[in-house]
Amino acid sequence: MFVWVAYDISDNNLRTRIADHCKDLGLVRFQKSIFLGESDRATLQMLASLIRREMEEDASGEEDSVAIGTLCGSCQKSLITLGKPVDGSKYRRRPFVIIG
pLDDT in tens, the chain (100 residues): 889 999 999 999 999 999 999 999 889 998 899 999 888 899 999 999 999 999 988 776 678 999 999 987 777 777 777 887 666 666 566 555 567 6
Query: pTM value?
Result: 0.77
Residue at 8 is within a domain: yes
Q: Residue 73: give the domain boundaries.
A: 2-91
Give me the pLDDT at residue 77, please: 73
Residue at 84 is within a domain: yes
Residue at 32 is within a domain: yes
Give me the pLDDT at residue 72, please: 79
Residue 26 zone, left/alpha/beta (φ > 0; ψ -120 to 50; rest): left
Residue at 81 is within a domain: yes
**51 vs 94: CA distance, rounded Å:** 24
Nearest Cα neighbor of 7 from 45, 37, 48 is: 48
**78 vs 68: CA distance, rounded Å:** 19
CATH number at residue 73: 3.30.70.240
Residue at 96 is within a domain: no
87 is in an annotated binding site: no
Give me the pLDDT at residue 96, please: 54
Q: How many domains does the chain have?
A: 1
Residue at 57 is within a domain: yes
Beta strands in 1-100 (DSSP E): 2-8, 28-31, 34-38, 65-71
